[in-house]
Amino acid sequence: MMDVWSSFVLGSFSVWRITHLLHAEDGPLDIFANLRRRLGNSFFGQLTDCFYCLSLWMALPVAGLLAQNWLHGALLWLALSAAAILLERCTTPKPPFFPPNKFEEL
């Protein structure tokens, strides 16, 4: 059996991977792009638009599988989502920063 840290690391990467797949990737034969298109503006469609929201839902079953009790599960659920968000922020390139032009307002 895995120790707590190994479970947390594997769970974090799993939550990030599934969330990123559903949120941002097209997938083979555009499966996930078509799924997002079909979901449209429904609750689930809006859920796939927000990485942060989707990571909470994706972390829930993973936390349920890894938890030792309900309190551990509740804390693990939030921690797995947070880890996935941090991974997403570390792997997503930042857009270039363009300071506002003071002369445009004149």
Token digits of residue 8: 């947390």
Give 55-63 contacts, CB < 8 A, sequence gap 24+: 55/15, 55/16, 55/19, 55/80, 55/81, 55/84, 55/85, 55/88, 56/81, 58/15, 58/18, 58/19, 58/22, 58/84, 59/11, 59/15, 59/84, 62/11, 62/14, 62/15, 63/11
pLDDT band for 101, please (50, 70, 90 cuts).
confident
Q: What is the pLDDT of residue 32?
A: 95
pLDDT tens profile 36-91: 999 999 999 999 999 999 999 999 999 999 999 999 999 999 999 999 999 999 99
pLDDT band for 94, please (50, 70, 90 cuts).
confident
CA 16 to chain centroid: 5
